[in-house]
Amino acid sequence: MPDTMVAEKPVLRDGVATYDAIVIGAGISGMFMLYRLRELGMTARVFEMGTDVGGTWYWNRYPGARFDSESWTYGYSFSKELMQEWDWKEHFSPQPDTLEYLNYVADKFDLRRDMQFNSTVNAAHWDDEAGTWTVTLASGQQAKSRFLMTAVGILSAHTLPSIPGRDSFKGPAYHPARWPKQKVDFTGKRVGIIGTGATAIQAIPEIAKECAQLTVFQRRPNWAAPLHNAKISKEEMEQIKARYDEIYAYCASTPMWFIHQPDPRKTLEVPQAEREAFWEKLYAEPGFGIWLGNFRDIGTNEEAANALSEFIAKKIRQRVKDPKVAEKLIPKDHPFASRRVPLESGYFEAYNRDNVTLVDTLKDEPIECITPNGVKTTKQEYEFDILIYATGFDGVTGAFDRIDIRGKNGLRLKDAWAESPRTYLGMLAEDFPNMLMVLGPHTARGNIPQAIEHSVQFQTGILRFMQEHNYTRVETRPELVDEWTRTVIEAGEKLLSSKVDSWQTGVNRNVEGRQVRRVLGYNGNGVQFRKKTDEVAKGGYKEFAFR
């Protein structure tokens, strides 16, 4: 067994702390990765930009932030004890409860002792001769390791809008992913919010309740459906706990690892009245059923998707009193479910309030600039006390791009992936030895914590295999990277979502070089993905090259 894989304390080499593994990020991924690395007897250091654990749930503290996936499918499943100890309070957990849960996990497994906070990783460079990664923090501190684990999240690189004068606003301006820890008081305030994605759709109804006036600047509307959240009673939680094995096994048997299974029927084969009744039922149910439990072809057949879109549009028209506002809120450029569907709690009703105004910046009033007082459109200047840029993220690859990651021969990851990521199973990137990516591009996602657990299990399986065989280096095989990249691209081709601009297709007009669609995830069936990774593991990881 190589010495670096049994040490209990970091070794000092040339005055630099050297670990078996360095993990970037202390969110759901980094926390579980650390737990597993310890099980393998490896020394590890987690570097985290924030001041504590939680990742997405640490940063996104904006009003209304919560899961729109069922809480009881979204926790860790690696510890039965933890599952039995933790009581979810709501079916769709609000951010403060989720952060409390992650703190509970960190305390229970004493994770913080191997974590360093306030530590932004600026660079990670591979030394091919030494077989080590050197990580440099923003502070200049360096550390070395044999393995580099990226646990950087798929929606962590937030982006501000590229609008002239953006920084000139004299009041407080917030991005929801950098929301302050102390409560923002909206009482009596005039608030402007730019963006109408999943984040804004959660935040708008909450802010509207508190502020004097809320003006929403919408570029393109998004489809959304009701969340139908509810509290979980003690008895209900006991029943959930008794069924955890069944719940998680069921999730693993669905294409996206959620509790929702697509209906095997094709939309247009079902008589219209029956179809509408089915949609009524899904619309009235909690969670992603309307998206993931719908007819199996809504994501691939345009006619089917249009029929469903018409049904949802009817709902919006019923819920929004002013027909002109309702029409503005109905997307016309993409069908329902072709972008990630936000689930909402009173979003459409918020526009029935006297203190909420919708500004259509695409057709009616393009934004010209941000001014010291607010937002200036082609028609008028709006004055605000608080401005919110709910303008999203540079999805999936954005967090990688922000770190100067260099592999063999000084190759920059950002350059290597300029056109398309190149990975095997999304776990390892070509030419980046010993860099294991939790939720890297081209991997299966769906239910994020379940995808994380699967990814970490697979990767720590590789590490265990290496320990058993005295290997110190793992790499991809180029021909299999070609094959996997083709598989991923082909799996996305038939999807309507591939034809629509969104963070999922890698488009973000606020980021240079992000105007062209790319395939960023494996959009095939998650069950097949599990089968594939299980086969690779059982077959002795022959698809990877070891030394």
Contact 370, 165 (CB under 8 A): yes
Cβ contacts of residue 450 below 8 Å, gap of 6+? 73, 77, 248, 251, 252, 257
CB of 116 to ligand NA7, least distance (A): 27
- Is there binding between residue 392 and ligand NA7 (CB under 6 A)? yes
Q: Give the C-alpha distances (Å, rounded to integers) separating 508 from 3, 130, 373.
A: 45, 38, 26
Q: Pick the closest to residue 421 from 396, 399, 454, 446 (CA basis).
A: 396
In the complex with ligand NA7, which residue's Cβ is closer, 61 or 146?
61
Task: Annotate 315-337 with DSSP letters as a single string.
Answer: HHHHH-SSHHHHHHHS-SSS-TT
Cβ contacts of residue 134 below 8 Å, gap of 6+? 16, 123, 124, 125, 127, 142, 143, 144
In the complex with ligand NA7, which residue's Cβ is closer, 347 or 393?
393
Rounded distance between C-alpha atoms, residue 417 and residue 196, angstroms? 29
CB of 530 to ligand NA7, least distance (A): 22
Site for ligand NA7 in 27-56 (CB under 6 A): none
Direct distance between the N- and C-terminal alpha carbons of the chain, in angstroms, rounded to an integer: 13
In the complex with ligand NA7, which residue's Cβ is closer, 132 or 156?
156
Site for ligand NA7 in 346-375 (CB under 6 A): 361
CB of 19 to ligand NA7, least distance (A): 32
β strands within 231-346, DSSP E: 343-344
CB of 467 to ligand NA7, least distance (A): 36
Rounded distance between C-alpha atoms, residue 325 and residue 357, angstroms? 9
In the complex with ligand NA7, which residue's Cβ is closer, 193 or 462?
193
| Token reading at 3 | 């010495």
Binding mask 297-336 for ligand NA7 (x = CB under 6 A): ----------------------------------------
Residue of 120, 510, 525, 528 interacting with ligand NA7 (CB under 6 A) = 510
In the complex with ligand NA7, which residue's Cβ is closer, 361 or 523?
361
Closest residue to bound ligand NA7 by CB: 197
Contact 208, 220 (CB under 8 A): no
Site for ligand NA7 in 416-445 (CB under 6 A): none
Site for ligand NA7 in 186-245 (CB under 6 A): 194-200, 219-220
- In b/e form, how buried is each residue of 85-119, taking b as 16+ CB within 10 angstroms? ebebeebbbbbebbbbbbbebbeebebbebbeeeb
CB of 509 to ligand NA7, least distance (A): 6
In the complex with ligand NA7, which residue's Cβ is closer, 86 or 217?
217
- Is there binding between residue 517 and ligand NA7 (CB under 6 A)? no
Collect contacts of 110-113 with beta carbons under 8 A, ≥24 apart. 111/26, 111/31, 111/34, 111/35, 111/46, 111/53, 112/53
Site for ligand NA7 in 140-159 (CB under 6 A): 155
CB of 361 to ligand NA7, least distance (A): 6
CB of 471 to ligand NA7, least distance (A): 37
Apex 253 CA angle, 242 and 341, nearest 5: 95
CB of 542 to ligand NA7, least distance (A): 35
- Is there binding between residue 398 and ligand NA7 (CB under 6 A)? no
Rounded distance between C-alpha atoms, residue 293 and residue 254, angstroms? 10
Q: Which stretch binds ligand NA7 (CB under 6 A): 160-168, 427-435, 490-498, 522-530?
A: 160-168
Q: Give the C-alpha distances (Å, rounded to integers) separating 39 from 24, 72, 134, 274, 460.
A: 18, 25, 24, 53, 10
Binding mask 453-492 for ligand NA7 (x = CB under 6 A): ----------------------------------------
In the complex with ligand NA7, which residue's Cβ is closer, 194 or 452?
194
> Residue 346, Cβ neighbours under 10 Å: how many?
17
How many residues touch ligand NA7 (CB under 6 A)? 21
Rounded distance between C-alpha atoms, residue 541 and residue 547, angstroms? 13
Q: Which stretch binds ligand NA7 (CB under 6 A): 76-84, 124-132, 204-212, 386-394?
A: 386-394
Site for ligand NA7 in 489-508 (CB under 6 A): 503
Contact 447, 69 (CB under 8 A): yes
CB of 340 to ligand NA7, least distance (A): 4
CB of 377 to ligand NA7, least distance (A): 11
Q: Which stretch binds ligand NA7 (CB under 6 A): 19-27, 326-334, 389-397, 489-497?
A: 389-397
Rounded distance between C-alpha atoms, residue 132 and residue 146, angstroms? 5
In the complex with ligand NA7, which residue's Cβ is closer, 279 or 503?
503
What single DSSP character describes residue 75? Answer: S
In the complex with ligand NA7, which residue's Cβ is closer, 337 or 435?
337
Residue of 227, 350, 390, 435 interacting with ligand NA7 (CB under 6 A) = 390
Q: Which stretch binds ligand NA7 (CB under 6 A): 40-48, 103-111, 385-393, 514-522?
A: 385-393
Contact 45, 143 (CB under 8 A): yes
Contact 215, 193 (CB under 8 A): yes
Number of residues that make up the chain: 547
- Is there binding between residue 391 and ligand NA7 (CB under 6 A)? yes
- Is there binding between residue 340 and ligand NA7 (CB under 6 A)? yes
Q: Which residues bind ligand NA7 (CB under 6 A)?
A: 155, 161-163, 194-200, 219-220, 340, 361, 390-393, 503, 510
